[in-house]
């Protein structure tokens, strides 16, 4: 879920699920609905207008969904720190199980994140 990013992390997530890095070989799949997801990959600093949609999306997921904050902006707001439209970091809005550092993080690190939190 993009909650205010520059889309750099989304490009790397797409690469992680593409044929070169193939995150699906470890059982990770991109799904269209949060109701079908066990892990949420969240990118960007949480903007004021995305804080509530983030909470609602996680509420729609399985009872104990895992949250992976992807990219430096999710962890410390990065370049967006102090911006008028920035609410806070992802960890300040919802509980985060794992953070993936980088601006943007490499696809290998993104592939390793769901494997780390699920144990696969």
Q: What mean pLDDT is reported for the chain?
A: 93
Q: Please, are residues 6 and 44 in contact by the beta-carbon 8 Å criterion?
A: yes
User: For residue 62, is pLDDT > 80?
Assistant: yes
Query: Which CATH code of 3.40.50.12280, 3.40.50.970, 3.30.1490.20, 3.40.50.300 fits the domain covering 8-118?
Result: 3.40.50.12280
Each residue of 64-94: pLDDT tens digit? 889 999 999 999 999 999 999 999 999 999 9
Per-residue pLDDT at 7 exceeds 90: yes
pLDDT of residue 33: 93
Parse the chain into domains and list their residue ranges. Answer: 8-118
């Amino acid at each position: 879920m993009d909650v205010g990013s520059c889309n750099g992390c989304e490009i790397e997530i797409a690469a992680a699920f593409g044929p070169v890095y193939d995150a699906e070989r470890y059982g990770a799949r991109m799904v269209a609905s949060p109701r079908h997801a066990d892990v949420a990959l969240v990118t960007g600093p949480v903007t004021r207008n995305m804080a509530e949609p983030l909470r609602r999306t996680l509420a729609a997921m399985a009872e104990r969904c895992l949250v992976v904050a992807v990219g430096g902006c999710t962890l410390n707001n990065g370049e967006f720190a102090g911006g008028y439209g920035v609410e806070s970091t992802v960890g300040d809005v919802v509980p985060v199980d794992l953070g993936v550092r980088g601006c943007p993080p490499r696809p290998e690190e993104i592939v390793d994140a769901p494997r780390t939190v699920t144990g696969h």
